[in-house]
């Protein structure tokens, strides 16, 4: 049951792009490794690898809406969004991931 809830909490890249262009207070977090991030990433994204995300929660601004991204979307990014939500943040993962962002 919990997995179905997570799957419903992704945001389409078109919607995330609209929110960024409108100046909405969102932050994209790429949860892949620094090496993967260096290969290709969304220019507005910051890189916090999934295994380090919990350690960064105290440094994140709770007024922001967070969108987590990985390569294809739904794996590491859904887990990242779950970690953020459990930490009291508003978060969703990026449908289609980083690769879908550029399609």
CATH number at residue 22: 3.40.250.10
Range of the domain at 26: 2-101
Query: Which pLDDT score, from 0 to 100, does residue 5 have?
Result: 37
Number of domains observed in the structure of the chain = 1
In a structure prediction context, what are the per-residue pLDDT tens digits for the chain, which is 103 residues long? 333 334 458 999 999 999 888 887 899 999 999 999 999 999 999 999 999 999 999 999 999 999 999 999 889 999 999 999 999 999 999 999 999 999 8
Query: Which pLDDT score, from 0 to 100, does residue 101 have?
Result: 95
Query: Which pLDDT score, from 0 to 100, does residue 103 have?
Result: 81
Question: CA-CA distance, 40 to 38, in Å (whole number)?
Answer: 6
């Amino acid at each position: 049951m919990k997995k179905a809830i997570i799957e419903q909490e992704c945001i389409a890249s078109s919607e995330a792009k609209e929110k960024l262009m409108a100046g909405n207070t969102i932050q994209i977090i790429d949860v892949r490794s620094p090496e993967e991030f260096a290969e290709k990433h969304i220019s507005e994204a910051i890189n916090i690898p999934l295994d380090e995300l919990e350690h960064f929660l105290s440094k994140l601004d709770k007024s922001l809406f967070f969108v987590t991204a990985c390569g294809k979307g739904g794996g590491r990014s859904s887990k990242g969004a779950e970690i953020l939500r459990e930490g009291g943040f508003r978060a969703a993962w990026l449908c289609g991931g980083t690769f879908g962002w550029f399609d």
